[in-house]
Structures are given as C-alpha cells and as structure tokens.
Amino acid sequence: QIQLQQSGPGLVKPSQTLSLTCAISGDSVSSTSAAWSWIRQSPSRGLEWLGRTYYRSKWYNDYAVSVESRITVNPDTSKNQFSLQLNSVTPEDTAVYYCARDPGQCLSCFDLWGRGTLVTVSS
C-alpha cells in the first residue's frame, strides 16, 4: 500500500527551525517520474505550496518565492523519506503541513498526501 507517513514536532518557538519528515512506503524518493512536495494550509493563507525535491539523473529542488530564503527540502535515500526545514519561523508559519506526491503521470497534480501535521509557532 502506497502511503506517506509524516512525523515531527507540533510546537516550535519563534525564530527557531521547523523540521518535519515524510516517510514513503510503496514508492521511492529516487523515482525518476515522481516529485515530492511540502504544502501547508492555514485559515489566513489557504493552501500554499512550499517546495519539492525530485530525482532526474541528479537531485533537484524548487521552492516557493515566499519562503525560498529560509526553506530546505532534502531527500534521504537511505531511509526512503524526505524532509522539510523552515528556518526563522514566526507565528505566521502556524499551519497544517502536508507532504504529497506528484506522480509525474499527470501535469502538476498530487495523487497521494500525508495525513498532515499541525505545527504551532508559539513561545
């Protein structure tokens, strides 16, 4: 069964780093067709794509303009997972964070989502 399992803390202090991990079952982070994204959802900002990693003979990353100065999305091939690091967080980064798969067989769609992690930024 293909699934994405998210893990990471639900509370982060302002100015610190938000770190989440998404473990992949039934597919490979090194897939040459899929791309692996982080997306967040909040009442104030709606749904927002943050960034992705994917492998096409080498590793690539793309990031949203709104967070590109403080985001890193990394693959971990030894554990078949990928991670999100968001630095210098503020209360505006409070949101439900999802990992998701773009399978590559459809243009810019997500066919598999993690369950979501509510991350609250507060002291």
Partner 1 sequence: QSALTQPASVSGSPGQSITISCTGTSSDVGGYNSVSWYQQHPGTAPKLMIYEVSNRPSGVSNRFSGSKSGNTASLTISGLQAEDEADYFCISHRNDRRPYAFGTGTKVTVL
In sequence order, which residues have a C-beta less than 8 Å from that of residue 47 and are 6 or more positions away? 39, 40, 41
Q: Please identify which residue in 32, 77, 115, 120 interacts with partner 1, judged by CB under 8 A.
A: 115
Q: How far is the CB of 85 from partner 1 (least distance, A)?
A: 19
> Is 110 among the residues that bind partner 1 (CB under 8 A)?
yes
> Is 37 among the residues that bind partner 1 (CB under 8 A)?
yes
3-state SS class at 74: strand
3-state SS class at 92: helix
> Is 108 among the residues that bind partner 1 (CB under 8 A)?
yes
3-state SS class at 33: coil
Q: Which residues bind partner 1 (CB under 8 A)?
A: 37, 46-49, 62-65, 98, 106-111, 113-116
